Amino acid sequence: MQVHTSLGTYSGIANIGTNPTFNGRERHIEVYLFNYKGDLYGKTIGVDFFEYIRGEKTFLGVDQLVDQIRRDINIAQEYFCKNCKVM
Q: Are 2 and 85 in contact (CB under 8 A)?
A: yes
Predicted local distance difference test score (pLDDT) of residue 86: 64
Half-sphere exposure of 18 (CA within 13 A, CB side): 7
Predicted local distance difference test score (pLDDT) of residue 40: 93
Q: Are 14 and 28 in contact (CB under 8 A)?
A: no
Query: pTM, whole model, 2 decimals?
Result: 0.85
Predicted local distance difference test score (pLDDT) of residue 84: 73
Ordered structural domains, the chain, with CATH: 2-82 (2.40.30.30)
* Contacts for 50 with CB less than 8 Å, ≥ 6 apart: 1, 2, 79, 83, 85
Which has the closest alpha carbon to 56: 24, 18, 85? Answer: 18
* Low-confidence residues of the chain: pLDDT under 70: 85-87
- d(CA 69, CA 32) in angstroms, rounded, equals 10
